[in-house]
Structure 1
Amino acid sequence: MLYPELFKQLESVRWDMDKDIPWSAFDGAKLTDEQAQTIKMNAITEWAALPATEMFLRDNRDDSDFSAFMSIWFFEEQKHSLVLMEYLKRFRPELAPSEQELHEIRFEFEPAPALETLMLHFCGEIRLNHWYRRAAEWHSEPVIKHIYTTLSQDEARHGGAYLRYMKRAINNFGAEAKSAFAKVGVLMASARRTAQALHPTNLHVNRQLFPRDTIQSRLPNPEWLEHWLDKQINFDAAWENKVVDRILHNMSLLMDRSFRTVQELNRYRRELAASLSGGPTAQPA
């Protein structure tokens, strides 16, 4: 089991909201109303760990090890929401999310293949790590800069934990797991070709609720994410390339094969798909 070891590792670096956040360093002159609004949207978005955990537990009923790890992930992700709300309650109380605004993003996700979902959230952790690093640079108020840096480090550790479960899946399921990971990896590393940000909170997950079946669509301002990325924290092509590079690097480690571009990963995906279907192996383009 991976859960006991991951528990010890993550417990050893867990931060304390009262002791490790420098609340007394707050400088109100360095926080704009525009910036405070984005903190509210991120606080609500982080609350989406609740429906995501319900999804993970439902779709991994046959995997008690991974389900136990969810106790760590859920706790730490909900603490992200909590620390952002605490910041607002202290310094911009009128912007603190209401209970109804939080509850609005708790809805059922349709069942999905567990391996693909695992890869999707692994990529989501990589992307969020980079978003929060960029947010820490954009903000000038020292307390929120510290908070976003702290959250980005948590997201990186969560990605590392997911990677451990992905390695285990490859040992257990071989080409089936590799195919699922490659399929989602190609999607999540192709954000430059899409009009929307590729993150689990921005993907459709319940056809009966369409178009209000993404986390972002149920926020008080459904348009905030793209504006935050493009106009505020300026998550530009250079930063997007960092995300793609991390996905490709980790796919290379997982598959024991070098992927320098998304196109190379996509060719490998086609080879795996052909092999699993019993058809001819796809030739390199």
Structure 2
Amino acid sequence: MLYPELFKQLEAVRWDMEKDIPWSSFDASKLSDEQAQTIKMNAITEWAALPATEMFLRDNKDDSDFSAFMSIWFFEEQKHSLVLMEYLKRFRPEFAPTEEELHEVRFEFEPAPPLETLMLHFCGEIRLNHWYRCASEWHTEPVIKQIYTQLSQDEARHGGAYLRYMKRAINKSGNEANVAFSKVGVLMASARRTSQALHPTNLHVNKNLFPRDTIQSRLPDPQWLDHWLDTQIKFDAEWEGKVVGRILHNMSLLMNRSFKTVQDLNRFRKEIGREIAADTALVPSSA
């Protein structure tokens, strides 16, 4: 089991919201209403760990180890929402999310293949780590800068934990896991070719609720994410290149291959697909 070891590792570096956030350093002159609004949107987005955890537990009923790890992930992600809300309540209470606004992002996700979902959230952690690092640079108010730094470090650690479960899946499932991970990896590393930010909170997850079946679509301002990335924190091509580089680096380690580009990863995906098809063709059909 991975859960006991991951619990010890993450427990050892867990930060304390009262002791490790420099609340007394707050500088009101360096926080605008515009910035406070973005903090509110991120607080609500982080609250969406609740329906994501419900999805993970439902779709991984046969995996008690991973399900137990969700207790850590859920706690720390909800803590992200909580610390952002605490910041607003202390310094800009008029921007603090309401309970109704938080509850709006709790809705049912349709069942999805667990391996693809695992890879999707692994890539999401890498992307969020970089978004928060970029946000910390954009902000000038010292307390929120530190908060985003703490959050970014948590997201990196979560990505590392997901990677451990991905390695375990390859050992158990071989090419089934390889093709699932490479397929989603190609998608999530191809953000430059899409018109939307590629993150789990921005993907459609319940066709019966379409078009309000993404986390972002259920926020008070459904358009905020693109504006935050493009106009405010300016998450540009250089930052996006860092995300793609981390995805490809980790896929190289995971698959024991060298992926310099998304095209390399896509060629690997097709190669594994052909191997699976050939193996299937060799299996005699039952009469």
Question: Is residue 208 of structure 2 the alignment partner of residue 214 of structure 1?
Answer: no
* Residue 164 (structure 1) aligns with: 164
The aligned amino acid for 2:158 is H
Distance 2:279 2:174 in 1: 18
Q: Deviations over 1:25-55 (max 9, x none)?
A: 0000000000000000000000000000000
Shift of 1:279: 7.9
Q: Distance in 2 between matches of 1:273 and 1:52?
A: 29
The aligned counterpart of 1:62 is 62
Match status 1:235 vs 2:235: yes
Match of 2:109 in 1: 109
1:92 equivalent to 2:92? Answer yes
Cα 1:279/1:69, change in 2 over 3 Å = closer
Mapped pair 1:148 → 2:148: yes
Q: Tell me the distance in 2 between the aligned counterparts of 1:230 and 1:267.
A: 31
State the identity as a percent: 83
Gaps of at least 5 residues in structure 1 are: 281-285
**C-alpha distance after superposition, 1:173-199 (max 9, x if no partner):** 000001000000000000000000000
Indicate the residue corresponding to 1:52 in structure 2: 52
- Gaps in structure 2 of 5+ consecutive residues: 281-287
* Amino acid of the structure 2 residue aligned with 1:106: R
Shift of 1:154: 0.2
Corresponding residue for residue 128 of structure 1:
128
Aligned to 2:28: 28
Q: Structure 1 residues 43, 210: CA separation in 2 closer, same or farther (over 3 Å shift)?
A: same
Task: Give me the whole-angstrom Cα distance separating, in 1, the residues matched to 2:274 and 2:50.
Answer: 37
Q: CA deviation at 1:119?
A: 0.2
> Once superposed, what is the RMSD of the aligned Cα atoms?
0.9
Structure 2: distance between partners of 1:121 and 1:165: 12
Instruction: Give the superposition deviation at 1:8.
Output: 0.2
Number of equivalences: 280
Give the AA of the match of 1:213. D
TM-score by length of 2: 0.97
Distance 1:278 1:112 in 2: 26
Runs of 4+ in 1 over 6 A off after TM superposition: none
Cα distance in 2 for residues equivalent to 1:225 and 1:276: 39
Amino acid at match of 2:239: W
CA distance in 1, matches of 2:252, 2:259: 6
Q: Measure, in 2, the Cα distance between the counterparts of 1:60 and 1:273.
A: 24
Question: 2: CA distance between counterparts of 1:254 and 1:82?
Answer: 33
Match of 1:283 in 2: none
Secondary structure of 1:278's counterpart equals helix
Against the structure 1 CA distance between its residues 267 and 279, is the aligned structure 2 distance closer, same or farther, given a 3 Å change threshold?
farther
